[in-house]
Copies of this chain bind each other. A is one copy, B any other.
Amino acid sequence: MVDLWFSEYHTEDVRFSIKVEPLWSEQTKFQRIDFFRNATFGTFFTLDGFLMMTEKDEFIYHEMICHPAFATNPEIQRVLIIGGGDGGTAREVARYPTVQQIDQVEIDERVVRLCQQYLPQTASVFENEPRLKLHFVDGVEFVKNTPEGTYDLILVDSTDPIGPGEGLFTLEFYRNCYRALTPNGSLINQHESPYYPGDAREMKRAHQKIKATFPIARVYQVFKPTYPSGLRLFGFAAKTLDPVTDFKPELWQQFKLITRYYNTDIHTASFALPTYVQEMLTEDA
């Protein structure tokens, strides 16, 4: 057996490494995709060398990108997912019987096809969910062309703001999301991590643009062992509904979903941020 390690550099002098068996490697028009297997984390994949999700801890990210929005607005019917080619976010959305339409825009069809092959735990939703429609186009363009007031929820499950994900962190994109949302609509986005300086700079930039676009712009935190520093933020932007003051735990509990990370205590708790993160979010980027 070859002693082979995948490493992700969190800074130039800090790295996280996982012993792997390589499963597949491919360069697409958009990015390099690698699938690996590891005893601790199960099957996982990377895009341009950045770890996206692992079989064992994906439940944390996918529950937390999805359920806080539904517990704030249990009447969500039409959902747009941008990115998220592994299917985990769509799987969680599809658990709500009240959802009528899920549009998912993934720029790189190969991510979806490879996840269907190697990660059925998340990607089987693409075969089994009649309410879901896949669009293999650029999310930035898709939202630009979306009629006003189309979606109750937009979930941006993207890579970092380099490479294919870059346009999803611009003011123009956030403005188009605002326009595409219904009056009670909300936008949840992958909001980087506050710990390492490079990540924190992107977090501050994204937050300033979202604050300039939406009257309600909150940030909540999730602990995820395979992301840099273990802490990942999500942005919760909305036109009218505040995820803390408009939180509806009793209504959410009526969905009777079994979850492994999210619960109604964690909902409110996730919006309480460490003082240093609060301060960063008010600083200029």
- Residues of A near any B CB (own CB < 8 A): 5, 7, 11-19, 38-41, 57, 60, 195-196, 221, 223-225, 228-231, 259-263, 265-266, 268-276, 278
Contact = CB atoms under 8 A, between A and B. Distances in A.
A111 to B, nearest CB: 24
Contact of A272 (B18, B269, B274): B269
A39 B262 CA distance: 36
**Chain A residues touching B, majority SS:** mixed
B195 A225 contact: yes
A269 B272 CA distance: 6
A262 B274 CA distance: 6
Q: Lowest 4 CB-CB distances: which A-B pairs, in order? A: A230-B230, A269-B272, A269-B269, A13-B19
Q: Which of A13, A221, A263, A273 is the most central at the interface, judged by chain B CB atoms within 10 Å of its CB?
A: A13
Contacts of A16: 14-17
A263 B274 contact: yes
Contacts of A38: 13-14
A223 B225 contact: no
Contacts of A259: 275
Nearest to A193: B225
Contact of A276 (B261, B265, B269, B275): B261
B229 A274 contact: no
Contacts of A5: 15
Given A13-B19, A268-B269, A260 B275 contact: yes
22 contacts: A5-B15, A7-B17, A12-B19, A13-B40, A16-B17, A57-B195, A195-B225, A223-B223, A225-B231, A229-B230, A261-B274, A261-B275, A261-B276, A262-B274, A263-B274, A263-B275, A263-B278, A265-B272, A266-B272, A266-B273, A269-B270, A269-B272
A149 B273 CA distance: 36
Contacts of A262: 274-275
A12 B41 CA distance: 12
Contacts of A274: 60, 223, 260-263, 266
Contacts of A278: 263
Contacts of A273: 265-266
A181 B195 CA distance: 37
